[in-house]
């Protein structure tokens, strides 16, 4: 049976951990995009209702599910990559699946 070298497992695990950490920084950018989307949605609502002077919550506008997924996707993927990277670095993953 083929044995994967330990240095390869550790290197790949560290790369996955760093990639997972870097994905957490994308959440700030996605929050900015959601705020921009809300602002644009409110401007469009005000064009359709010129007498409206309230804010986003007063207009009872909702954020579509696609925008919510874009906001929550990066931390979930980042956490998953960090966990997988830890398993790769410790060698537990391959010793568990390959015997």
Question: Terminal CA-to-CA distance of the chain, rounded, Å?
Answer: 8
Residue 81 lies in a domain: yes
Residue 75 lies in a domain: yes
Residue 35 lies in a domain: yes
Its domain, for residue 12, covers 6-97
Predicted confidence at residue 20, as pLDDT, reads 93
Predicted confidence at residue 98, as pLDDT, reads 58
Residue 37 lies in a domain: yes
Whether residue 60 has pLDDT greater than 70: yes
Please give the torsion angle defined by the CA atoms of residues 91, 97, 98 and 99, in that order, rounded to the nearest 10 degrees.
Answer: 100
Residue 1 lies in a domain: no
Three-class DSSP labels, 41-87: HHHHHHHHCCCCCCCCCCCCCCCCHHHHHHHHHHHHHHHHHHHHHHH
Q: What's the domain count of the chain?
A: 1
What digits encode the pLDDT tens for the residues 64-95? 888 788 777 888 899 999 999 998 888 765 55
What digits encode the pLDDT tens for the residues 25-51? 887 777 788 888 888 988 898 898 888
Residue 25 lies in a domain: yes
Predicted confidence at residue 99, as pLDDT, reads 53
Looking at beta carbons, which pairs linking 31-36 to residues 24 or more positions away fall under 8 Å?
31/71, 33/70, 34/63, 34/67, 34/70, 34/71
């Amino acid at each position: 049976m083929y044995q994967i070298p330990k240095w390869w497992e550790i290197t790949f695990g560290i790369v996955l951990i760093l990639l997972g950490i870097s994905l957490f920084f994308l959440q700030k950018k996605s929050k900015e995009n959601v705020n921009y989307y809300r602002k644009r949605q409110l401007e469009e609502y005000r064009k359709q209702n010129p007498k409206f002077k309230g804010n986003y919550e007063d207009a009872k506008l909702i954020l579509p599910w696609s925008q919510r997924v874009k906001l929550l996707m990066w931390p979930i993927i980042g956490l998953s990559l960090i966990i997988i990277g830890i398993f790769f670095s410790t060698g537990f993953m391959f010793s568990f699946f390959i015997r």
